[in-house]
């Protein structure tokens, strides 16, 4: 299932901790067009829960959260909403 998601942009924020993981993810998705997909690579366990929750609170669609290594995760988010001006 994960292989048929077309990713438009990837950010690697391994080594970052909350709240920077969400801030970096939010800044990246704000630069994208509605419908585009952002892949986030991270290694901070708390961020695996916080980033998807925060993205959904911002109106984005979390497509996938998967563990890809012992201490590494991949979060895939589709931009569903433009930031209100």
Looking at the annotation, which residues are catalytic?
Answer: 18
20-24 long-range Cβ contacts below 8 angstroms, 24+ apart: 21/47, 21/50, 21/51, 22/47, 22/50, 22/51, 22/54, 22/55
């Amino acid at each position: 299932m994960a292989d048929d998601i077309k990713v438009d942009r990837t950010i690697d924020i391994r080594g970052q901790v909350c709240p920077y993981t969400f801030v970096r993810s939010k800044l990246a998705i704000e630069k994208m067009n509605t419908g585009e997909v952002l892949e986030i690579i991270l290694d901070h366990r708390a961020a695996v829960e916080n980033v998807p929750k925060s993205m959904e609170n911002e109106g984005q669609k979390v497509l996938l959260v998967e563990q890809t290594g012992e201490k590494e995760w991949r979060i895939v988010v589709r931009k569903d909403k433009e930031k209100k001006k």
